[in-house]
A and B are shown apart, each in its own frame.
Chain A
Amino acid sequence: MARTTQIKKYLIEQFSLEIQPDELADDYDLLAGGVIDSLGLLTLVSWLEDTYGLNVDVLDVAPDNFRSVRAIDAFCDAASAPGPAAGTTGATEAATTGARRP
């Protein structure tokens, strides 16, 4: 299962969205719609750490990195990339451009 689908399933279950995964668009603004609030954000990061074995610098947990399913997916890419640069800057960049880090 694609990671974005897993992320959608998690969001739907955790935040009781009562929709199907394909109804949640990759670019739906999860923050503006109040799906994820500040505490829900940390819960999500905790799940991402456990599910994908990420080691997230806790200070990278800024809302803009998690604004949409696409942004979350890009954050996972950045956080699992080798090197010290994995984190806010890279993830924000990736989230904005949709580009993946090499």
Chain B
Amino acid sequence: MSSCLPARIVRHAAHHPDAPALFWHGNTTGYGELTAMAGRAATWIAAHHGGAAAPGPGSGERPRPLALVAKKSPEAVAVVLACLLLRRPLLIASADLGAEALSALLVSAGATRLPAPAELTASPGEGAPPVPSAPYPATGDPDDIALLLTTSGSTGIPKIAPVTFGALDRFTAWAAGHFGLDARTTVLNHAPLNFDLCLFDIWTTLGSGGCAALVDQDLAVNPAHLEGILRARPVHVVQGVPLLHALLARTAAGGDASHLAPVRHVLITGDAISGPAFAALPPLFPRARFHNVYGCTETNDSFVHEIDPQDPMPHGALPLGRPVAGTRAWIRTEDGGVLHGPGRGELVVRTPFQTPGYLGAAPAVSPFVPHPQDQDGGPCYRTGDLVRRHPDGTLTLEGRRDFVVKVRGVRVNTAEVEAALCAHDGIEEAAVLALPDDEAGKVLHAVVRRAPAATLDSLTLRHYLGQRLPRAALPRTVRWSGEPLPRTSTGKLDRTALTDVLGPGPSVPRAPAAVGAPAARLSADIRRISQGTGD
């Protein structure tokens, strides 16, 4: 029997067509329906883009990638499944990406954009000839590219990280085993479809015969939507950034946490969670085990730590834990050596799930490096994360060696935002600062000096940035400076002085305006979220 992910899903559908695969806005999509939708999409794709056989087998050419630019929906999931079945590489791009950024990304990937998922998966009308089943190729080379994921770069165009079928199979096998996913499991999927987190939430779940409960991207920060899902369908596993867990805690603010009781595993990922934010969780999830999951788009999960709710942060932060099965990790010292024993350095990992390398323009300095003592073991990935190894061997995160920050769990390179700002004719110089924020982890603030005679205003500038940068990379505030920006003696932006410039001005708290009227339910919810995670 094949262990290839799409084949497993189709096999499960053949045996259990009525088993729930997806839960979306109160409706269940069975495995049979999901694979039927995927079959219609595959037929359309094969007819319009030559299917898997184009170019022909043995031609040595790889099929051109297709691109899905869509918000999450059962139809969109079916289109991804169709491409996996056809073994056509699929770029999944955010539907929020600005027009210029999107077209640059499609060019960089060499990808052809597919029509909307609803169109691809639509049932044929009455009287239409029966749809022939799509000719799925037999399982092929595990090094074939399955998906193209994106992550922030420093140049303005997202970097493209391919995921192979082999990596997908190894990851889904490990993750299903580690978190005990099977046909009775429902997993909450909070992340948008283009996020690597979906490799667990959606694809590991479907590969296990379980049900993925999909959060509508448009309502992803709305506690009522989350609560509605959890009350309608018992959820056993939740994975998400700290913001999701704060939102879930809010859904129990009325004192009734019964919808959280079925949860067996809570996976915290994407960013560091604060002590108070974590402390709110164990009482709400009485049966759950808590896991700190560390990974990035290039490598997928590489460390997992089961959190001790009695002593979650013995070193002041959640421990990273142990490398997951088959992962090799080392700490790189400043001179490129391997740190043995306690100390601080950059975390470098090699996982069985990692990308073979970026597609398209490579960064000037490759983050993929050989292990200094194991040159034959394949490239390792420099994460950019600085970690400390404590005397007892525990690893904790300490920051970054570059300008990458997390905004709501999304990796953003502030150098990329600065480059986009400085590329505007009306801008003389610009700095982007990431300041701590209770909700988002970090929020971006831009300080900008106009070029002489430029008449740029903040709205024009926002529109310009919105065309070029992912949503998470757009600064929350733009402050205009009449003076040259402060610089250090070596000519670099003086970020400490800039932070002082920002002061209390633009970094206004995002709590709603104080009003005397009794708060409606939503208002109350949002106020509590804005004020932090506790009651």
Interface residues of A (CB under 8 A from B): 10, 14-19, 23-25, 28-29, 32-35, 37-43, 45-47, 49-51, 53, 55-56, 58-59, 61-64
Contact = CB atoms under 8 A, between A and B. Distances in A.
Nearest to A43: B512
A19 B522 contact: no
Given A16-B505, A28-B459, A49-B523, 17 more contacts: A16-B476, A16-B477, A19-B457, A29-B463, A33-B459, A33-B466, A39-B439, A39-B530, A42-B525, A42-B526, A43-B526, A43-B530, A46-B522, A46-B526, A46-B527, A50-B519, A63-B218
A32 B219 contact: no
B471 A51 contact: no
B510 A39 contact: yes
B517 interface: yes
B459 A23 contact: yes
A100 B506 CA distance: 35
Nearest to B457: A19
Given A16-B477, A55-B520, A40 B506 contact: no
Contacts of A55: 520
Contact of A37 (B471, B479, B511): B471
Contacts of A64: 218
A58 B522 contact: yes
Contacts of A46: 512, 519-520, 522-523, 526-527
A50 B98 CA distance: 33
Nearest to B461: A33
Summarize B's interface: helix, strand, loop or mixed. mixed
B336 interface: no
Interface residues of B, number: 46
A37 B218 CA distance: 10
Nearest to B460: A33
B512 to A, nearest CB: 5
Given A18-B479, A46-B527, A49-B523, A34 B222 contact: no
Contacts, number: 119
Contact of B228 (A33, A53, A59): A59
B279 interface: no
Nearest to B220: A38
Interface string B464-500: 0111000100111111100000000000000000000
A16 B508 contact: yes
Contacts of B523: 46, 49-50
B347 to A, nearest CB: 30
Given A16-B477, A16-B508, A37-B471, A58 B459 contact: no
Contact of A50 (B220, B465, B474, B515): B515
A62 B519 CA distance: 20
A51 B520 CA distance: 11
B242 to A, nearest CB: 13
